[in-house]
Amino acid sequence: MASNGQAEKVAEVEENVGDNGDTVTPWDVQSKSDKGIDYDKLIERFGCQRISDDLIQRIEKVIGQPVHPLLKRGIFFSHRDLEFILAQKEAGKPFYLYTGRGPSSESMHLGHLIPFVFTKWLQDAFDVPLVIQLTDDEKFLWKNLTIKETMKLAKENAKDIIACGFDLNKTFIFSNFRYIGQSPEFYQNIQLVAKNVTFNQAKGCFGFTESDSIGKIHFPSIEAAPSFSSSFPFIFGEDSNIPCLIPCAIDQDPFFRMTRDVAPRVGLHKPALIHSVFFPALQGAQSKMSASDETSAIFLTDTPEQIRTKITKYAFSGGQSTAEAQREKGANCEIDVTYQYLRFFYDDDEKLQEIKKDYTSGKLLTGELKKILIEHLQKMVADIQERRKKVTDETVDEFMKPRPLSYKY
C-alpha cells in the first residue's frame, strides 16, 4: 500500500476552474492573470504538496549528489508521496519511473522536453527502470487524425525522446495502439481501473460531458494502467506490485488522482508524483506552449535562424520599453519569457544568478539577455538535432520491444 493513508477522493476537485479563473485540465490550461497560473492555489485545489527544502536535502542525501536545476529552481515544485519513494530507495527496495507524451501533429517543442530532461536525470540518479507511454490512441480519440497517422507521429516523437539520451537497457517506450495488442496484462489493468471509476467521477476529474465519445470517457484508465508494474510482466514479473514515481506537468495530475483513488481498492500501490509548472509560451505565462500554434513555441526542428527570429520577435519582455528606462528601472524577471526560458534550460547556477541580478537592476538590456538565450538554445537544439539524426527506425524498434530491462536495486 502507498504511504499516504489519508482518504483521497477521486472527485475532490469537482470543478476544473479555480476561484481565480485558472483552468487546468489535461487538455486545457489557461490563466486570466498575466503572471500565469497561481501554483499555490493549484496545489491547494488539487490537494498535493509543495516540495520543501528539507525534502530536496533528503533527496540529495539518498542519491549522493546535488539535485537537478529543474528541481532546485522550483520548476518541479509539487509532489504526492515522494517521501514514500525515497523511503523505498533508502530501504533498498525497488521503484520505477513512468512518464509519457501525447504525440502531437507537429514536432516536439521545448516545453515537451522538460519532463524528459528531468526524467532522464531521475533515471540516472536513482538507477531505476523507466517506462514511457505514447498515447497515440488519445490523439486519435481527440483529434481529426487516423489511427495510422497517430501511430506514425508516436514513432517520430519516440525519436525526439530517444535523442534526450535515455539508456536502452533501462527504458521501455511503448505506444498504446501497438502495446495493448502485445500485452494482455496491460489491457487487464486498464479494465481493472475502468471497472472502478464511474462516469460521474470521470466527469468530476476531467470535465467530460454526455456528448463526449465513450472512447474519451474510458481513456483515463489507459493513462492510469502503466502506474501498475504488472502492466509490464517482462520487466517486473507477473502479479508484481512495485511502486512507481511519475514525473509530469501538473495538468496530468487528474489522471493520477483518479489512479490513486482506485489503487488501494484493488490492492495495488498508489503511484507517487512529482509535478512541474508549465513551460510558458513565447507570448507570456498566461498559457503553456502549444504545438498547434507555430509562433508560440520553439520546435526541436527549428533552424538557428528560426530560433533567433522567434525569440527576437515574440519573446514577451519584462524589461522597459527603452534602453534608458531599462537602465534606470530594470526588468521584472517573473514575467520575462527570455529570463524564464534561461531558468528552465541554463544549467550554470552562478551565471544565472548574475544574469538575474543584472537584468533586474537594469545593467543588462533585453536585447543582451535575448542574445544569451538565443545562443544557448541554438546550441542546445542543434545538439538534439545531431543526436536525433543518429536515431533510426531500428533504434525506435529496439526501445519499443517488450523485453526485460537491466538495472540494479
What residue ranges bind a second copy (CB under 8 A)? Answer: 137, 140-141, 147, 177-178, 180-188, 191-192, 194-200, 202-203, 208-215, 217-218, 220-221
Q: Which residues contact 347 (CB under 8 A, 6 or more apart)?
A: 69
To a second copy, the closest distance from the beta carbon of 294 in angstroms equals 27
To a second copy, the closest distance from the beta carbon of 189 in angstroms equals 9
Whichever of 43 and 141 has its CB closer to a second copy, that residue is 141
Whichever of 225 and 337 has its CB closer to a second copy, that residue is 225
Half-sphere exposure in the Cβ direction for 303 (13 Å, CA): 3
Dihedral angle of Cα 259, 265, 268, 271, to the nearest 10 degrees = 30
To a second copy, the closest distance from the beta carbon of 206 in angstroms equals 10
Q: Among candidates 216, 195, 237, which has minimal Cα distance to 139? A: 216
To a second copy, the closest distance from the beta carbon of 202 in angstroms equals 5
To a second copy, the closest distance from the beta carbon of 105 in angstroms equals 16
Strand 272-276 versus strand 76-80 pairing type: antiparallel
Please answer whether residues 259 and 270 qualify as being in contact, where contact means their C-beta atoms are separated by less than 8 angstroms: yes
To a second copy, the closest distance from the beta carbon of 16 in angstroms equals 17
How many angstroms separate the CA atoms of 169 and 8, rounded?
A: 36
To a second copy, the closest distance from the beta carbon of 344 in angstroms equals 35
Q: Among candidates 93, 12, 402, 23, which has minimal Cα distance to 233? A: 402
Whichever of 31 and 150 has its CB closer to a second copy, that residue is 150
Half-sphere exposure in the Cβ direction for 161 (13 Å, CA): 31
E strand or H helix at 205: helix 199-206
Whichever of 213 and 406 has its CB closer to a second copy, that residue is 213
Whichever of 191 and 406 has its CB closer to a second copy, that residue is 191
How many angstroms separate the CA atoms of 85 and 66, rounded?
A: 18
∠ Cα 192 154 255 (to 5°) = 35
To a second copy, the closest distance from the beta carbon of 219 in angstroms equals 9
Whichever of 177 and 344 has its CB closer to a second copy, that residue is 177
Whichever of 81 and 185 has its CB closer to a second copy, that residue is 185
**How many Å is the Cα radius of gyration of the chain?**
21
Whichever of 231 and 287 has its CB closer to a second copy, that residue is 231
How many angstroms separate the CA atoms of 275 and 254, rounded?
A: 12
Half-sphere exposure in the Cβ direction for 77 (13 Å, CA): 14
Three cell numbers written together for 233:
510482466
Whichever of 150 and 320 has its CB closer to a second copy, that residue is 150
To a second copy, the closest distance from the beta carbon of 199 in angstroms equals 5
How many angstroms separate the CA atoms of 343 and 296, rounded?
A: 18
Please answer whether residues 260 and 154 qualify as being in contact, where contact means their C-beta atoms are separated by less than 8 angstroms: no
